[in-house]
Every structure is written in C-alpha cells, then in structure tokens.
C-alpha cells in the first residue's frame, strides 16, 4: 500500500491488494465519512466571512459604517435595485433547507443540514465565484409536522438580502409546493438544486451518453427508478427535450406511475407526480423486471445501494444500455457490477467513480449566470440551456463511455455555463440587465479565478492550514478495519 497523499489522488492504491472492487468501494465510502468528520472538527466547518474591502486608516471605519454608510441606505431606499450594486447582494445566495431529507440520511433535524449547506456555499465560491450563506431552518408547526408554508414565508422575508435562493434537502411533497410558489412570488431566482440541478446535469449526461450509443432522445425507452424531487424533475426536463412519454416508465416506492394510481391523484400535494402519471407508461408496465426489458436508459435516484438495482435487470436491457445509479452515498448498483451485466455506460453521483453525474457541475455556473444579469427567476429553458452547455463543453474536449460530462476540476466549464445561462435569461425576458455573452464569460471567469487564487494564497500564507496527515491515516485505518 502507498502512503496516502493529502490530495487523495492515490486513494485506490492505499487499500490492501487483496481487497475486491466491492470492498474498495465500501472502504472508500467509510473513509470519506470518517475523514469528513475529522476534517470538519479540525477546521470548525469550511466557510468563514472575510472583508472584501480594505481599511487604509481609522477614518475608513466612517466610510464602511456610520456616518458615511447612511448614504448607501438612502440610495437603496429610493431604488431597491441599487442594493445589487451597493452591497454584496448581487453575488450572494441563501442556501435554505429544513434538513428533512439530507442526502440519504433523511430528517437530520434543522442543524443537521449545516454540513451539506456549508458544502454548497463552499462549492459556489470555489467553482462559481459566488458567495453563499447556509440557512437551516425549523419548518415544524405546533404539532411537530413540517409545514411548507413556513419555508415559503421565511424565504419571502429574507429574499431582500440575497440575489438568489438555493433550496436544498427539503422532503417531498413539501419541496414541490415550496419551489413552485417561491418561483412565482419572489423577485429573485429560487432554485431547488436537488430537483432542477440534478435534472440539469442528468440531462447533460443523457445527451452525451446517447451520442456515444448512437441513439436519439425521442426513440429511446427510459426507466426512472424513484419518483422524488430529483427524478420527477429529470422526467420533466427529458420530456421537454424530446423524450417520448409513451416510452417512459417511472417507479415510486409502491409501483409504477400511471393513470390508474388513484392514490397519487387523490393527494393534491403530489401534483407533480400525478402530472407524470397522466403522461407516461400508457401500457401500464407495473414491475421493474418488465420495465427494464429492452430499456435503453435507466435513471435511478432512490434508496442507497449497493443491491437495489439487480444485475439481471441490467442484463435484460437493450444493446449499448445506459445506467445512471445516482443514490448517495452508495449507488444502487456498483459500476463494475453494471458493466459485468452488460451496461455500455454507467454513471453515479460520486466523484471516485467514472462519470460523476452530480449537481456540483451545475449550480455554481447556473447561479452565477442568473446573478450576473440579475434574473428574477430561473426558467426550465435556462436549466436545459445549462445542460446543453455542459454536454457541449464535454464533447468539445472529448467524450468516451467513462467520461461523458465535465468534472469539477475543469475550471473553464463554469464560466461557459454561466454565460450560456445568462444569455438564456435575457432571451426568456427574466433578466434585469443585459450584457453580451463575451462580457458574461469574462465576469464569471474573473470571479472564479479570484476565488480560487484567494483560497490558494490563504493556504500558502498559512491562514488556511493544510490537513494533518494523522487525520488521513486514522480515517484510512478505520475504514480498512471495518471492511476487512
């Protein structure tokens, strides 16, 4: 075994040689969890607030605060849009969650979502040049029931301090109402990353996977396993992009979606699922085994695996099949098992396997694009434009069955995506200001470069400490001991 490096680039080589692929996959999951716990304790989280303006002398306190700053307040009073120019509002996102569906762990209590929400803010800054604030709130009413109206009211109240709102980890069906109401009633973009972000990146992956497979969107049979916020929005974007509803079959925890699901029709909270019941699966295929037969594409965002999707189901799919097993933290089927069963392309939500289909390559660029033109909302067309931007970027630099979408360490993808989204916002009539694509790309590239160079400078100068080798070694030893 090699000694583990701080950049984790040699992680696979640090496990015992006798470990099987499945043991390595399990050990990596445990390693990342243990290291995350240690690293978050070591750093006290991963986000802090730092000034962006200097203090050349004592009297500058009178500029940044009273009495000088009263002029800023009265300017904004007379023109609220001035807040985007005279404060950080124009580049600031609220990451809002009630923590009722955190990753694969379910309801983690309101503060339990802070690790994820800080993570979103971290990626927004480093990848998109956007500032973010984690806001984990208690949406429970007097009876202890999570009330979507509380989230709606909270976001409406705080929207005047932010340029956009990123909703995250809100359980269904509350997430549907929260997003749909706030998209229409807020004066800034409200984006649900679990739904729209995941859908955008998944669409990008499907676009390129079908290119490699030599298939067309309107011809393929698509099975979606899971009918939560992510998969229902993925289905909606796939249909908007030309997928045939008669060749789409969606499964929730009970059965497939179809017009006979009176249980869904009767519960008005699940209106998004009922819309898909009315459109898809007209032949009423009711089992996964039957649905997977001759399917071209499987998109699974359901229960963490590794044995949720059966290899025999994958083996029954059409030639050059595409399998997206994107549950976190463990995919519904491990990639090597899907490959052994005959899958042509396999994607997961994890970065330690090929083809990470994860919203992390979507939301930093999408939000940056919306903020640059001070968009009032993010339309479905903006999300679809972002998907094509991601797919096009990947295709230009080269795609293959194990490399269908850009990765987070490809910095140029984010300004490209941001510029495309900004242009679509202008075309859709939701932008407050208009700029050229060249201007949008330059602004995004500048801000992203600034964020990365600032992080690197703070690390070089010791303001950000390097991770301690002992943390890595202890996490690795523990993970190996749990799997051996």
User: Across-strand partners of 249?
Assistant: 223
pLDDT at 30: 94
What is the percentage of the chain residues whose pLDDT exceeds 90?
89
Q: What is the pLDDT of residues 380-437, one digit of tens each?
A: 999 999 999 999 999 999 999 999 999 999 989 999 999 999 999 999 999 999 999 9
β-bridge partners, 281: none
* 8 A C-beta contact, residue 190 and residue 167: yes
- Please compute the mean of the pLDDT values over residues 255-271 and round it to a whole number: 94
Residue 1, pLDDT score: 66
Identify the band that residue 22 occupies on the pLDDT scale cut at 50, 70 and 90: confident
Q: What percent of the chain has pLDDT over 70?
A: 100
What residue has token string 């079959």? Answer: 249
Which one of 65, 71, 216, 268 is the catalytic residue? 65
Average pLDDT, the chain: 95
pLDDT exceeds 90 at position 484: no
Could you report the per-residue pLDDT of 96-136, keeping only the tens digit for each? Answer: 999 999 987 889 999 999 999 999 999 999 999 999 999 99
Query: What's the token pair of residue 79?
Result: 């023109």
Distance CA 358, CA 349 (A): 5
Q: Is 28 a catalytic residue?
A: no
Per-position b or e across 45-57, b if 16+ CB within 10 A of its CB: eebeeeeeeeeee
Has 337 been annotated as catalytic?
A: no
140-162: pLDDT as tens digits:
999 999 999 999 999 999 999 99
Confidence tier at 3 by pLDDT (50, 70, 90)? confident
Mean pLDDT of all residues in 259-264: 95
What are 87-98's pLDDT values in tens digits?
999 999 999 999
Mean local confidence (pLDDT), 27-38: 94
Can you name the CATH fold of 58-188?
A: Rossmann fold (3.40.50)
Rounded mean pLDDT of 55-72? 96
In this predicted structure, the answer to whether residue 211 has a pLDDT above a threshold of 70 is yes
Q: Please write the tens of the pLDDT for every residue from 357-370.
A: 999 999 999 999 99
The C-alpha R_g of the chain, in whole angstroms, comes to: 23
Tell me which of 26, 34, 120, 279 is the catalytic residue.
120
pLDDT of the residue at 12: 84
Q: Where are the domains of the chain?
A: 58-188
Whether the pLDDT of residue 77 is over 90: the answer is: yes
Task: State the pLDDT at residue 81.
Answer: 95
- pLDDT, tens digit, for every residue of 171-186? 988 999 999 999 999 9
State how far the Cα of 49 lies from the Cα of 52, in Å rounded to an integer: 9
């Amino acid at each position: 075994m090699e000694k583990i490096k701080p950049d984790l680039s040699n992680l696979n080589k640090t496990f015992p040689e006798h470990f099987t692929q499945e043991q390595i996959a399990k050990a990596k999951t445990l390693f990342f969890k243990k290291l995350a716990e240690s690293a978050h304790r070591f750093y006290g989280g991963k986000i802090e607030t730092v000034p962006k303006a200097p203090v050349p002398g004592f009297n500058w306190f009178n500029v940044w605060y009273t009495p000088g700053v009263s002029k800023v307040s009265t300017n904004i009073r007379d023109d609220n849009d001035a807040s985007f120019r005279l404060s950080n509002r124009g580049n600031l996102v609220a990451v809002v969650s009630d923590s009722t569906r955190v990753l694969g762990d379910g309801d983690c209590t309101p503060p339990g979502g802070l690790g994820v929400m800080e993570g979103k803010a971290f990626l927004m800054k480093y990848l998109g040049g956007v500032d973010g604030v984690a806001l984990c709130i208690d949406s429970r009413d007097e009876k202890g029931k999570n009330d979507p109206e509380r989230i709606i009211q909270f976001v409406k109240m705080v929207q005047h301090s932010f340029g956009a709102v990123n909703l995250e980890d809100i359980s269904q069906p509350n997430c549907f109402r929260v997003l749909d109401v706030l998209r229409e009633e807020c004066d800034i973009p409200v984006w649900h990353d679990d739904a729209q972000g995941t859908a955008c990146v998944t669409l990008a992956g499907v676009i390129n996977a079908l290119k490699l497979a030599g298939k067309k969107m309107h011809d393929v049979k698509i099975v979606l396993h899971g009918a939560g916020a992510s998969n229902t929005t993925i289905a909606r974007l796939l249909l908007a992009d030309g997928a045939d509803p008669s060749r789409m079959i969606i499964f929730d925890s009970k059965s497939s979606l179809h017009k006979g699901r009176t249980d869904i029709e009767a519960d008005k909270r699940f209106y998004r699922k009922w819309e898909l019941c009315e459109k898809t699966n007209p032949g009423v295929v009711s089992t996964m085994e039957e649905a997977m037969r001759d399917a071209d594409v499987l998109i699974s965002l359901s229960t963490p695996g590794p044995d949720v999707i059966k290899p025999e189901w994958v083996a029954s799919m059409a030639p050059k099949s595409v399998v997206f097993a994107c549950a976190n933290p463990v995919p519904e089927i491990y990639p090597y098992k899907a490959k052994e069963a005959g899958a042509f392309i396999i994607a997961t939500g994890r970065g330690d396997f090929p083809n990470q289909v994860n919203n992390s390559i979507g939301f930093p660029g999408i939000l940056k694009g919306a903020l640059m033109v001070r968009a009032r909302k993010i339309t479905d067309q903006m999300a679809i434009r972002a998907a094509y931007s991601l797919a096009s970027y990947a295709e230009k630099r080269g795609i293959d069955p194990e490399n269908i979408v850009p990765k987070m360490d490809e910095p140029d993808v984010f300004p490209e995506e941001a510029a495309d989204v900004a242009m679509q916002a202008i075309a859709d009539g939701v932008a407050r200001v208009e700029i050229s694509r060249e201007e949008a790309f330059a602004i995004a590239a500048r801000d992203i470069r600034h964020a990365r160079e600032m992080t690197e400078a703070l690390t070089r100068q010791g303001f950000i400490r390097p991770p301690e080798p002992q943390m890595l070694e202890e996490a690795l030893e523990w993970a190996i001991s749990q799997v051996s």
